């Protein structure tokens, strides 16, 4: 064992200096020094069972803390396995650093094990990608990567770290000698090769680093923002039926969600939350609404959209009546995607809302009539959902189950959403308790986030209840992370809605095309699988036992066990016709 300083030490020092508390990984020889160096500096290393889960876990940490997430994967298939969560993080605008191992610099492109063109692969899925070729470049490159990940429109960055940049110089030197065969050679050829190897080693370990080809990410404050905010404030003061839509980007790199929530309530207009913004206003805010957003937006005379592009979720910008439209977004492209707003404010939407609250002051009672209209629709939809619950079915009605779970879920709960039909049903009923406590994949609609998101969430808030809401299709992507949870002392509670079907797809596929091909599953004993991975499993088939099963799951979780409730669902057409394209 060597105690010699290595590249992983340099990485660990920078991460610690930036307040990084966790590195998520699946081990590989290429990246071992990063894990050892980070651990030596008090950073928790959490090893998972799939590289995708490592990146999803880093994504969750970034969303919940405002600090960039960090993951490290080995070369080749380690990087390719990380591609989907990397793209998911890019589309969710999550600041993150992903380290990818790589073959030795001298062997690049020569057919070494797991050697592929990783930079070409990741380039379109991240904000910046680069390869480090010398040890002195590790620290400056990582500093720059963390800065790039957070500045402007946040997003993931990728750093390729060759194995011979990470290991100690004496070990790398020995590798070079063995691989080159120089010790067994004679004559001028041997001498020339020896000189070349010594020169390469010197440059690799000792040549001072010079920043080159590194983008500048500092963006000066756009001129005219104060005037734009005042213009929007005038629009708010004159509006009779205003509406506020808050999306994912508003919460990115958010370190003070409470002040943001206070600003939204001071603005005082009917507000709908989407994506990571769910939970910003708690469960009972007088300005928050969850249902019939489309109907209200069509009647509004002013709609302010914060951190939300005009994509399919807002009907590509067509879901508004004759309202004046204001958009606040960090991205110039998203400000005008599919629809040009009347006022487009390019700034962090959270900062925009704080500034707007200061400019407008309290709303008073001038919108009482409008609130009454919006609230009537909200209460009507809640009542409709209540009447659709069926507590007396032979198996478990999903609406009835979630109504009971809503009553029993702790006030500190974090909810991870990973699935289609079952999870979307939950979204109508479960109320995120607090800011940064709802994790869904975002606009990419990625299945498989559940295990990784739950690992990240449980690391960040170990005392809170972490709930994974899984469909029986989506759970199979990351159920193996129950092993990770058991090994690392994490205790999320997973709920698997088992209907033996990819129901969200099957419902429309069968009706439109007359065939259920590739959409059928079986009622797999997922609770037994969870037990095999070191967790606790509960089977729920009797509606009369919903409460006691939830209570038992909460008890087991409090005792430190990851728990899975396998809920056998009765047929439901609650979300008939809900396919998205």
pTM for this model (two decimals) = 0.92
Q: Is the pLDDT of residue 293 over 50?
A: yes
Instruction: pLDDT band for 193, please (50, 70, 90 cuts).
Output: low
pLDDT band at residue 216 using 50, 70 and 90 as cut-offs: low
Name all domains of the chain by residue range, CATH numbers in brackets: 7-206 (3.40.50.970), 225-376 (3.40.50.1220), 389-568 (3.40.50.970)
Share of the chain above pLDDT 70, in %: 90
For residue 120, give every residue at least 6 positions away whose Cβ sits within 8 Å of its Cβ, in sequence order, or none: none
Average pLDDT, the chain: 90
Distance CA 208, CA 460 (A): 37
Does residue 213 carry a pLDDT above 60?
Answer: no
The pLDDT of 459-476, averaged and rounded, is 97
Q: For the chain, what's the residue count?
A: 581
Q: What does the pLDDT read at residue 211?
A: 65
Position 104 scores a pLDDT of: 80
pLDDT top residue among 434 and 203: 434
Per-residue pLDDT tens over the stretch 390-400:
988 899 999 99
Is 267 in contact with 357 (CB distance < 8 Å)?
yes
Highest-pLDDT range among 50-54, 214-218, 425-429, 576-580: 50-54
Lowest-pLDDT range of 43-57, 165-179, 494-508, 560-574: 165-179
Pick the more confident residue, 206 or 428. Answer: 428
- Mean pLDDT, range 329-340, rounded to an integer: 92
What are the Cα distances from residue 371, in Å, to 163, 262, 566?
61, 19, 40
Block residue for tokens 């309202």: 323
| More confident call, 271 vs 316 | 271
Q: pLDDT over 90 for what percent of the chain?
A: 74
Tokens encoding 228: 């734009």
Distances (CA, A) of 460 to 21, 66, 104, 415, 490: 9, 11, 35, 13, 10
Nearest Cα residue to 261 out of 280, 279, 276, 234: 280
Q: Where residue 180 falls among pLDDT bands split at 50, 70, 90?
A: low
pLDDT of residue 197: 67
Helix (H, G, I), strand (E, B) or coil at 305: strand
Q: Is the pLDDT of residue 177 over 90?
A: no
From its phi and psi, is residue 279 left (phi > 0), alpha (psi between -120 and 50) or beta? left
Residue-wise pLDDT for 509-528, tens only, equals 898 999 999 999 999 999 99
| Better-scored residue on pLDDT, 318 or 564 | 564
More confident residue, 318 or 48: 48
Query: What's the first-to-final CA gap in the chain, in angstroms?
Result: 55
Q: Which residues contact 452 (CB under 8 A, 6 or more apart)?
A: 24, 48, 50, 52, 53, 54, 55, 56, 57, 59, 60, 85, 478, 481
The pLDDT score that the predictor gives to residue 61 is 98
pLDDT of residue 218: 47
The reported pLDDT for the residue numbered 31 is: 94
| Range with lowest mean pLDDT among 53-67, 97-111, 272-286, 562-576 | 97-111
Phi first, then psi: give them for residue 404, nearest 5 degrees: -70, -40
Using CA atoms, how far apart are residues 324 and 322, in angstroms rounded to an integer?
7
Strand order in the sheet with 22-25: 44-47, 22-25, 69-73, 96-102, 156-162, 128-131
- Top pLDDT among 196 and 203 is at 203
Which of 185-199, 211-225, 241-255, 478-492 is least confident? 211-225
- pLDDT for 480 equals 98
d(CA 466, CA 412): 9
**Average pLDDT of the residues in 305-314:** 90
Please tell me the least confidently modeled range out of 92-101, 105-114, 247-256, 512-521: 105-114
Does the pLDDT at position 562 exceed 80? yes
Q: In angstroms, rounded to a whole number, what is the distance separating the alpha carbons of residues 164 and 166? A: 5
């Amino acid at each position: 064992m060597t105690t010699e300083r290595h590249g992983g030490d340099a990485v660990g020092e920078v991460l610690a200096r930036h307040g990084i508390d966790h590195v998520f990984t699946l081990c590989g020889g290429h990246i071992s020094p990063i894990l050892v160096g980070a651990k030596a500096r008090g950073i928790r290393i959490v090893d998972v069972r799939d590289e995708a889960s490592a990146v999803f876990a880093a994504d969750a940490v970034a969303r919940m803390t405002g600090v960039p997430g960090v993951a490290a994967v080995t070369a080749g298939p380690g990087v390719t396995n990380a591609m989907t969560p990397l793209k998911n993080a890019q589309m969710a605008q999550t600041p993150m650093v992903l380290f990818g191992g790589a073959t030795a610099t001298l062997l690049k492109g020569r057919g070494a094990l797991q050697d592929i063109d990783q930079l070409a692969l990741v380039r379109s899925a991240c904000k910046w990608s680069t390869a480090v070729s010398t040890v002195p470049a590790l620290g400056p490159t990582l500093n720059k990567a963390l800065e790039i990940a957070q500045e402007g429109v946040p997003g993931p960055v990728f750093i390729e770290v060759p194995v011979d940049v990470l290991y100690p110089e004496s070990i790398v030197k020995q590798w070079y000698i063995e691989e080159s065969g120089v010790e067994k050679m004679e004559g001028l050829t041997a001498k020339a090769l020896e000189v070349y190897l010594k020169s390469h080693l010197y440059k690799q370990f000792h040549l001072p680093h010079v920043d080159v080809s590194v983008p500048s990410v500092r963006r000066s404050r756009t001129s005219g923002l104060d005037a734009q905010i005042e213009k929007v404030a005038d629009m708010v003061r004159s509006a009779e039926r205003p509406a506020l839509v808050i999306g994912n980007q508003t919460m990115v790199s958010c370190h003070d969600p409470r002040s943001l929530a206070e600003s939204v309530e001071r603005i005082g207009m009917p507000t709908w939350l989407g994506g990571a913004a769910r939970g910003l206003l708690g469960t009972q805010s007088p300005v928050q609404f969850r249902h019939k957003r489309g109907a209200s937006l069509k009647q509004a005379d002013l709609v302010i959209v914060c951190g939300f592009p005009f994509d399919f979720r807002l009907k590509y910008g067509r879901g508004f009546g004759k309202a004046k439209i204001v958009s606040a977004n960090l991205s110039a492209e998203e400000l005008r995607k599919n629809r040009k707003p009347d006022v487009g404010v390019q700034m962090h939407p959270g900062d925009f809302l704080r500034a707007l609250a200061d400019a407008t002051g309290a709303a008073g009672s001038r919108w009482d009539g409008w609130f009454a209209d919006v609230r009537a629709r909200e209460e009507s939809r809640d009542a409709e959902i209540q009447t659709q619950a069926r507590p007396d079915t032979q198996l478990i009605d999903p609406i009835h189950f979630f109504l009971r779970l809503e009553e029993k879920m702790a006030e500190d709960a974090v909810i991870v959403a990973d699935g289609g039909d079952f999870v979307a049903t939950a979204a109508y009923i479960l109320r995120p308790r607090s800011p940064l406590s709802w994790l869904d994949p975002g606009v990419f609609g990625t299945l498989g986030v559940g295990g990784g998101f739950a690992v990240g969430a449980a690391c960040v808030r170990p005392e809170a209840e972490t709930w994974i809401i899984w469909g029986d299709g989506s759970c199979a992507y990351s159920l193996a992370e129950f092993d990770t949870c058991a090994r690392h002392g994490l205790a999320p509670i997973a709920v698997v809605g088992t209907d033996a079907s990819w129901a969200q797809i099957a419902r429309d596929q069968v009706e439109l095309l007359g065939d259920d091909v590739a959409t059928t599953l079986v009622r797999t004993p997922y609770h037994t699988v969870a037990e095999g991975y070191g967790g606790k499993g509960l089977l729920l088939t009797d509606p009369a036992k919903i409460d006691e099963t939830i209570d038992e799951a909460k008890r087991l979780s409090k005792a430190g066990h990851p728990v899975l409730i396998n809920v056998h669902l009765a047929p439901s057409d609650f979300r008939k016709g809900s396919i998205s394209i």
